[in-house]
């Protein structure tokens, strides 16, 4: 049981660092009220988690990559806060686009990743 927690912690450590680094890299290159960093990271994470799920990984590898890395890499809470910020700034069009595309493309990419994972 403790070993499982260590796998999740290690994956989470690297997932959080990767998210932070990618988010900063994207933010430096794209200046917009649309939160591209979180958007791209969450879509990539949806695809990759679908891919992992499709390969039917279990055990330590699933804990390390799925629960740990992908859990820390993707960020539902930041997505929600950015949506609220867009709303309070009355950037309605950007908020609707962000929320709509995030949910729609996120589910689609998770499904595509799952299908690809099944074929591996």
DSSP single-letter state for residue 30: -
Compute the distance between CA of residue 111 and CA of residue 118 in angstroms, rounded to an integer. Answer: 11
18 is in an annotated binding site: no
Write out pLDDT tens, residues 21-31. 999 999 999 99
Show the DSSP H helices in the chain as ranges. 2-29, 36-54, 59-61, 71-73, 76-88, 92-119
Compute the distance between CA of residue 61 and CA of residue 22 in angstroms, rounded to an integer. Answer: 23
Report the domain count for the chain.
1
pLDDT at 95: 98
Compute the distance between CA of residue 100 and CA of residue 104 in angstroms, rounded to an integer. Answer: 6
94 is in an annotated binding site: no
Range of the domain at 25: 2-119
Is-above-0.75 flag for pTM? yes
Write out pLDDT tens, residues 31-50. 999 999 999 999 999 999 99
């Amino acid at each position: 049981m403790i070993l499982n927690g260590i796998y999740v912690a290690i994956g989470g450590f690297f997932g959080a660092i990767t998210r932070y680094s990618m988010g900063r890299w994207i933010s430096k290159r794209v200046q917009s009220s649309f939160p591209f960093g979180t958007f791209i990271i969450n879509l990539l994470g949806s695809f990759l988690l679908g891919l992992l799920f499709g390969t039917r990984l279990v055990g330590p590898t699933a804990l390390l990559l799925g629960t740990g890395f992908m859990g820390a890499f993707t960020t539902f809470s930041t997505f929600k806060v950015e949506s609220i910020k867009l709303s309070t700034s009355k950037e309605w069009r950007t908020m609707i686009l962000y929320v709509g595309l995030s949910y729609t493309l996120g589910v689609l990419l998770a499904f595509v990743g799952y299908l690809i994972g099944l074929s591996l």
